[in-house]
Amino acid sequence: MKSLACVCFALLIAPVANAQRTIDLPSPILNQHYPATTYNCHYQARAHTESNGFSADRNYVLGISHGYLACGHSGRGADLVYTYYCMSDVWDLSGNLVSVKVLPYAGCPVAHSYRITDAAGYTVYTVTNVYYGYISSQYAVLVTP
């Protein structure tokens, strides 16, 4: 009977010891501010973010964020202005956004948004939500060992 109690206790502890944690990595916010005399808008939106693997030392998650903001109007005398963004993102292995570097949009690197697992067991991948054929949201996910 004593061995049966040990087996039951081990079955209860084993899943907790190997519990993984899934962290949605925060995307940077795109900001656009124009003077009220030119365009009457102050707009913020979450960028579309894709995971791009790990840093060479495996201590950080890398990603690429991109997107655009539209400001103005499309009626008579239209002055609709698009501002395009590209950013290189770095998160630590706890899911904190450590740095964001703005890059020229024309040279925005291609993200490798497939599932990547490093030797320590950390995994990153990209979640893309599509609504009527358009990407409505996109963010990176980190799974800790």
Confidence of residue 42 (pLDDT cuts 50, 70, 90): low
Instruction: Look at residue 90 in the predicted model and tell me its pLDDT.
Output: 96
CA angle 59/122/127 to nearest 5° reads 110
What is the rounded average pLDDT of the residues 137-143? 92
Q: Residue 109: how many CA atoms within 13 Å on its side-chain side?
A: 16
Kindly report the pTM of this predicted structure: 0.75
Give the start-to-end residue ranges of the domains of the chain.
Answer: 19-144
**% of the chain with per-residue pLDDT over 70:** 76
81-102 pLDDT, tens digit per residue, is 778 889 999 999 999 999 999 9
Structure token digits, residue 55 = 């840093």
| DSSP-derived pairing of the beta strands 60-71 and 21-24 | unpaired
Query: 141 to each of 7, 12, 14, 63, 127, how far by Cα in Å?
Result: 35, 28, 25, 10, 7
